[in-house]
A = this chain, B = another copy of it.
């Protein structure tokens, strides 16, 4: 018994509709589809392709449909495949033959290329605002904890003391690059594809520049075949979002580490942690963990789009319908993160004494000794070796670096001066790093003011 033997039946029909429909997810484009149709029909009227009166009626009805969809007063059905067909069908139902004039000089190929650009433009603007808000939150924290010092890590090992504010501002830099990548992407794709029709342009006397102006694009697309088959901008956007998600995964890792009993540098607000169904004492940094994990789906979306487009011949292929769900999911994911991250950060209690205690490890000042030797003329490599030997000596004699006498220090660092004995303070170490971009208080202050100004705090 083969399931599909004989003529295929009702059930298959149903399956086929489910397989090909996109209305279940592309309905979110409705506003943009309608905005595009309004601009299109206004242009058709101005060009004499449809009567002015018809255009007026169509625009009016489209606005009504938009309102109905916004109000939840509109029925979607897999029968009508996609958002374009739903709206046009409703229009024709309302206006009859007059409604049937809308789709002149247009194909769903260029229509969807328009809709998705309009949609992504808005989403990028929304995400950019949220990114700015995230940056502001972090700058506020940096400003609030200006004097807190913690160990800076490389290889997850203590390296040198740094200002907590400096550490925080590193993330502001990352998110700023994310912001600029979004702007570049937006600018590159802000090009109006309508008028490309199915692939070859149209024989009707349209005015693409008029539509371009009405919809606030920077330019019209130059080649109709490219315009209907191009999905570069989705890949580029997903790549920018993937890098952002990677940054979030890194910051989350820091937050999770700092929240551990072992580090104990911070405590996230109760609202951003959850308990255990079994262990009554647990307080887990779930929001940070989920945020770290969500990089996974954004990466997945990027790979999906790259895979989708690989090896497709020109021009439009139905495969391209699969472009939407991944990018919708990535956008939703990024926005979700951007909604919870700022309040989570703001909820953070900073345990400054714990941080300082961790930084108050004389070994972290070893580099300062080496650089002090350079200042008095010892070649750096030699200075490095001497301080290395000093660290080893202390280990062997079971002493802290700061507990040695000058004589002891001079056994390995003959050039040591009494000033060397004063170097084992995290705050002094930090204060000496005032070159631009360094962790010195003035340098960090300058960074904070730069960002306050740039983000208009």
Contacts and interface: CB of A to CB of B under 8 A. Distances in A.
Given A195-B437, A199-B159, A257-B156, A296 B317 contact: no
Interface in A8-29: 8, 12-13, 15-16, 18-20
B342 A379 contact: no
B306 A435 contact: no
Nearest to A274: B20
Residue among A92, A346, A358, A434 with the most chain B CB within 10 A? A346
Residue among A283, A296, A304 with the most chain B CB within 10 A? A296
A289 interface: yes
B199 A282 contact: no
Interface stretch (A60-68, A71-79, A234-242): A234-242
Contacts of A437: 195-196, 201, 208, 220-224, 227
A396 interface: no
Given A155-B317, A297-B322, A297-B326, 4 more contacts: A8-B347, A170-B225, A203-B429, A306-B307
A contact residues, range = 35 or more
Contacts of A297: 304, 322, 325-326
A290 B316 CA distance: 12
Interface string A315-331: 11111111001100000
A315 B170 contact: yes
Interface string A421-457: 0000000011011111111100100010010000000
A419 interface: no
A70 interface: no
Interface string A189-223: 00000011111111111101100000000001111
Contacts of A293: 308, 317-322
Interface stretch (A30-38, A117-125, A247-255, A403-411): A247-255
Interface string A253-293: 11011011111000000011011111111111111011011
A157 interface: yes
Contacts of A166: 200, 223-225
Given A297-B322, A363-B281, A438 B310 contact: no
A399 interface: no
Contact of A133 (B3, B19, B284): B3
Contacts of A201: 433-435, 437-440, 443
A321 to B, nearest CB: 7
Given A253-B312, A339-B15, A439-B200, A173 B317 contact: no
Q: How many copies of this protein are present in the complex?
A: 4
Given A204-B371, A296-B308, A261 B100 contact: no
Contact of A436 (B220, B277, B364): B220
Contact of A152 (B199, B290, B301): B199
A299 B289 contact: no
A87 interface: no
Contacts of A315: 152-154, 159, 170
A40 B295 CA distance: 35
A339 B232 CA distance: 23
Contacts of A283: 157
A340 B13 CA distance: 9
B280 A336 contact: no
A209 B100 CA distance: 65
A223 B173 contact: yes
A90 interface: no
Contacts of A447: 222-223
Given A246-B310, A303-B300, A202 B2 contact: no
B380 A101 contact: yes
Given A3-B342, A224-B437, A318-B290, A156 B202 contact: no
Given A15-B339, A19-B340, A262-B358, A106 B278 contact: yes
Nearest to A239: B239
A305 interface: yes
Contacts of A174: 226, 230, 232
